[in-house]
Amino acid sequence: MTIDFAIILIPFIMAALILLFNKQLRKKYLGWIVLIIPVSLFLILTTYIPRIANGETYTHTYEWIPAFNLNFTTYIDGLSLILSLLITGVGSLVILYSIFYLSMKESLHHFYCYLLLFMGAMLGVVFSDNLMVLYAFWELTSVSSFLLIAFWHHRKASRAGARKSMTITVSGGVSMLTGFLMLYVMSGTFSIREIIANVEKISEHSLFIPALILILLGAFTKSAQFPFHIWLPDAMEAPTPVSAYLHSATMVKAGIYLVARFTPVFGGEMVWFWTVTGVGLITLFWGSFNAVRQTDLKAILAFSTVSQLGLIMSLLGLGSVAVHLGYSADTVIYTQATFAALFHLINHSTFKGALFMMVGIVDHEIGTRDIRRLGGLMSIMPFTFTIAVIGSFSMAGLPPFNGFLSKEMFFAATVKILQLDVFSIESTGILIPLIAWVASILTFVYCIIIVNRTFLGKIKPDIQEKNPHEAPLGMLISPFILITLVIAIFFFPNLLGEYILKPAMASVYPTFPSAAEMTPHISAWHGFNIELLMTIGVIVLGIVLYRLLKYWKKIYRIFPQNWTLNAIYERVITTSENVSESITNRYMNGKLTHYFIYIYISFVVIVAGTFVALDAFSWNPRLDAPVETYELLLVFIMIFTAIGLVFAKSRITSVLLNGVLGYSVAFFFVIFRAPDLALTQLVVESVTTALFLICFKHLGALKPEPSSKRVKVSNGVISILVGATVTLIGLAVVNYEKFETISTYFENSYELAGGKNIVNTILGDFRAFDTMLEVVVLFIAGLGVYTLINLKAAKKEGADIENK
C-alpha cells in the first residue's frame, strides 16, 4: 500500500476501530488517541512539500472495475497538497480544541468517528483523479457533515440544519455527477488529468457547456454560494469544533477546490468566467451585508464565511480569463487573481478557525453568544480578546496580518481585469471592483462589531453574576497557533508562495510553461496605488458606517421576511412534504390487498403494454420440445394446488398447499436435469414451510375479510391478466431469436470465472454486485428486527422497574 492511499484509508480505519472498541477506550483518553491520526498525516504530508515544490507529482492507480474505467487513482500535486495540509493541520487543532471543549457526558466515540469519516472523505476528494471516485467521496462529505451538524440531535435546530445542508449539497452533488458523466461521454475517460490533456478535442462538443453548468452547480452548493448559501448559517448548530473545521478547512473548501481543479478545462469559456466571477461577487456582497444584521456571534461568522468564500470564488473566476488568453508575458499578470485566491484560501483557514474557536470559548465560559448580552470581556478574558482582535482584523484586511496581503491582491485583481477587452468586460467590468469594495467595507463593519460588542464597553450585569473567567490553557492552544500563523504569514509570505502556492499555480495552469512567472513576490508595501486607496476608503467608511449603524440598519426592514431565501426554501420543503403525504395517504391505506393490486396492475399495463406496442409476442409451438405425460401430471397438480390455496380455510392447509407448489417446482428442476437448482429449491421451500408453521402456530384461525362479488370478480380478472402476461412473456422469450441467447456466455463459466457450477458462478461472479446488495438488504432487515426486539425488551424492563 502506497502512502497516498494510506493517508485516505487511515481515518476510515480509525473510525471503525473507535466504534468497535469504544467500551474499552476510556473517554478522557479518546481525544488524545484520535489526535495522533491527523498529526501523523500532517507530518507525512509535509515531507511532500519540497518535492512538490520542485515540480514533482505523485500518481498511483488501484484497479477497481477496469472494464468500466473505474479505478481508484490518487494524484498528489500542488493544489491537492494545499487542501490536504489544511484538512489535516486544522483538523489536528480542532481535535485538540475539542478535547477541552466537549464534556465527558457527550457521546465522544460517535463524535470522533464522524470527524474522522469527514476527514477521510475530504482527503479522498482532493486526492482522487477518477471522477466517479471523487463523486463517491464528495457525497460522503455530505453524509458525514450531516452526522456532525446533527450531533446534538436532541435539538430541533440541529436536526433541521443537518437536513437542510444535506438536501442542498446532495442535490448539487447529483447535478455534478450528471456533469461528470457528460465529460465521460465527450472524452471517453474518467481521469481528470486525461480530460485536461484533451480539452481542445471536447471544447466544441454540444455537451461541453451543459457539463460546465452542472459541475458548477455542484461546486456552488458545496461552497455555499448564492443562492445556495442558506444551509451554512444553519450548520452553526453543530458543536463549535465542527463549525471551526467545516467553515475553515473542509467541506466549504471542496467547492473551491473543484472550481480550481476544473479551471484548465472550462476556464476559457465566457460562461465560466461570468458565472464564477458573478456568483462569487454576489455571494461576497450578500454574505457581508447579512453578517452585519446578525446578533449571534456564530451567525456573524457563518455569514462572514459565505462572504469570504464568495471572494475566493470571484478570484478564481477572474483568474480563469488567463486560460482563454493563453500564455504570454502580457497575460500572465491575470493569473495573479488565482494566486490571490489560493493565498486567501490559506489565510481564511487560519483566521476563521481561530475566530470560531474564540466564539466557542465565549459561549463555553459565558454561556451566551448573543452580542446584545455581551460586552466588557476584554479585562476578564484578555487572551480570548487577543484572538478576536487578530482574527477579526485579519478578516477585515488590516496589517500586520495575512488577510491584508491577500485582500490587497484581491483589489489589484479587480482593477487589472478592467484592462481586458474580452468577455464584454468593457461594458460591465466596472461593477467588479465596485462590488468588491462595498463588500469589503461591510466586512470591516462586522469585524468591528465582533470585537467591540463582545469585548469592549461595560460588563453586563447578568454576566457578572455568572463569575466569568478566562478559558483553560487547553482551549487556548489551538486558536493561538492559528493566530501565530496569521502574523507569521504576513512577515514571511514568500516562503508560502515559493513552496506551497507556486506548485498549486502549476496545477491550475498546467499548459503554462513557468509557474515561477505566475508566482509574484508578495510584499506588504507597493507604494501609494489604487489598492491602498481602496483599503483606506474601506477603513474610513467602515468606521463611519459603524458609528451610524443604528440609523442605516433600518434598511434591513425593507426585505420582507416571507420572501427571504430561507422562507422560500421552507415553503418549498413544506409544500413538497404536504403534497407527498397527501398522495401517499391515498394509496398507503394499510391494506395489503390494495398494494398487490397496484403492483399487479402496473405490471400488466407497463410490461404487457410494451409487448403489445412493440408487437413482441411470438410463439411457435412447433419449435418446442414435446410435453411428456408426467410433465402434464405435475402441471395439473400445481394448478389444482393453486386453486385449493384460494379456497383454503386454515392457515396450516395454506402452508402445506404452498409447500406442494414449491416441491412441484423442484421436481421440474430434477426433470430438466438441474440438480443444483432442485436442491436449492428444496432447501428454501423446507425452511420457508417450517418458518410459516412456527409463526402460524401463534395465530388464530384464517378468517378472510368478507368482500363483495364485484371485488372478487376484479381480483380474478387481475389474477388472470397477470398470469397470462407472465405466461406469454415466457413463451415469447423462448422463441425470441433476434439476439443470441446469453446462456452460451454463462456456459463458459469455468474459463471466465473458474467455477464449474454455472448457478453458483452467476450468483458469485457474474451477478456479484446484485448478490452483494441482496445480502446487504437482508443484513439491514436483520438489524431492524434486532433493534425492534431490543427496544421491546428495554421497554418491558423499564415498565417492570417502574412497577416495582
- Give tens-digit pLDDT for 67-98: 777 888 899 999 999 999 999 999 999 999 99
Decide if 166 contacts 146 (C-beta within 8 A): yes
CA distances from 633 to 637, 664, 731, 778 (A): 6, 10, 20, 37
The type of residue at 393 is F
pLDDT tens digits, 489-539: 999 999 999 999 999 999 999 888 877 778 888 988 887 889 899 999 999
Q: Are 536 and 550 in contact (CB under 8 A)?
A: no
Of the candidates 59, 46, 117, the residue with the CA atom closest to the CA atom of residue 86: 46
191 falls in which pLDDT band (50, 70, 90)? Answer: very high
For position 539, what pLDDT does the model report? 95
pLDDT of residue 100: 92
Please choose, from the candidates 123, 105, 114, 179, the residue with its C-alpha nearest in 3D space to the C-alpha of residue 7. Answer: 123
What is the spatial distance between Cα 128 and Cα 303, in angstroms, rounded to a whole number?
Answer: 30
Task: Report which of 498, 520, 496 is spatially closest to residue 55, judged by C-alpha positions.
Answer: 498
Distances (CA, A) of 113 to 34, 239, 270, 488, 780: 9, 15, 43, 33, 21
User: Taking the CB of residue 91, how many other CB atoms lie within 10 A of it?
Assistant: 29
**Assign residue 509 a region: left if phi > 0, alpha if psi is -120 to 50, beta otherwise?**
beta
Q: Are the C-beta atoms of 778 and 787 separated by less than 8 Å?
A: no
Predicted local distance difference test score (pLDDT) of residue 691: 77
pLDDT at 494: 92
Cβ-based neighbours of 471, under 8 Å, separated by 6 or more: 361, 364, 365, 381, 383, 384
Q: How far apart are CA 354 and CA 388, in angstroms?
A: 8
What is the average per-residue pLDDT within 656-678? 84
- Residue 555 to residues 287, 550, 552, Cα–Cα distance (Å): 16, 10, 6
pLDDT of res. 75: 93
**Can you give the three-state secondary structure of 462-504, one letter per residue?**
HHHCCCCCCCCHHHHHHHHHHHHHHHHHHHCHHHHHHHHHHHH
Cα of first residue to Cα of last residue in the chain, in angstroms, is: 59
Tell me how far apart the alpha carbons of residues 311 and 410 are, in angstroms, rounded to a whole number: 8
pLDDT of the residue at 701 = 63
For residue 794, what pLDDT is reported?
Answer: 61
Contacts of 184 (CB under 8 A, 6+ apart): 69, 131, 190
| pLDDT value of residue 798 | 57
Average pLDDT, integer, range 253-276: 94
pLDDT for residue 802 is more than 60 = no
Cis, bond preceding 50 (omega within 30 deg of 0): no
**Is residue 669 within 8 Å of residue 678, measured between CB atoms?**
yes
Q: How far apart are CA 609 and CA 625, in angstroms?
A: 29
Band (pLDDT 50/70/90 cuts) for residue 795 is low
- Residue 625 confidence (pLDDT): 74
Q: Residue 505 to residues 174, 313, 324, 483, 701: CA-CA distances in angstroms? A: 29, 15, 16, 26, 77
Residue 485 has a pLDDT of 96
Q: Bigger pLDDT: 623 or 234?
A: 234
Which pLDDT value is given to residue 705? 65
Q: How far apart are CA 87 and CA 81, in angstroms?
A: 10
pLDDT in tens, 120-164: 999 999 999 999 999 999 999 999 999 999 998 888 889 999 999
- The pLDDT value given to residue 693: 76
Map residue 257 onto helix, strand or coil: helix
Residue 167 has pLDDT above 80, yes or no: yes
pLDDT in tens, 433-469: 999 999 999 999 999 999 999 998 888 777 766 678 8
Mean pLDDT across the chain = 87
Instruction: Give 507-526 as a DSSP string.
Output: HH-TTSS-TTTTSPPP-S--
pLDDT, residue 386, reads 95
Cβ-in-10-Å burial (0-12, 13-18, 19+) of 69 comes to middle
pLDDT of residue 800: 55
Structure confidence at residue 515 (pLDDT): 72
- pLDDT of amino acid 166: 93
Among 346, 278, 289, 288, CA closest to 313: 278
pLDDT > 90 fraction of the chain, expressed in percent and rounded: 49
The answer on pLDDT for 801 being more than 60 is: no
Neighbours of 271 (CB within 10 A): 14
Cα→Cα distances 300→189, 378, 429, 445, 716, Å: 43, 19, 30, 11, 66
Helices (H), 61-207: 78-101, 108-127, 131-149, 156-187, 192-197, 199-202
For the ranges 240-254, 256-270, 621-635, which has the lowest average pLDDT? Answer: 621-635
Cα maximum dimension of the chain? 105
pLDDT for the residue 736:
67
Pairwise CA distance, residues 599 & 580, whole Å: 19
The one-letter amino acid code at 784 reads G
Q: Is the pLDDT of residue 676 over 80?
A: no
What mean pLDDT is predicted for residues 260-276? Answer: 94
Rounded to 5°, angle at Cα 633 from 632 and 637: 115
Highest mean pLDDT among 53-57, 104-108, 213-217, 333-337: 213-217
| pLDDT (0 to 100) of residue 339 | 94
CB atoms within 10 A of CB 484: 13
* Grid cell 476578564 in the structure block, residue: 380
The whole-number pLDDT of residue 589 equals 78
Q: What is the mean pLDDT of residues 91-109?
A: 91
Min mean pLDDT across 191-195, 306-310, 370-374, 585-589 is at 585-589
Give the global pTM: 0.83
Residue 577 pLDDT > 90: no
Strand partners, 61: 73
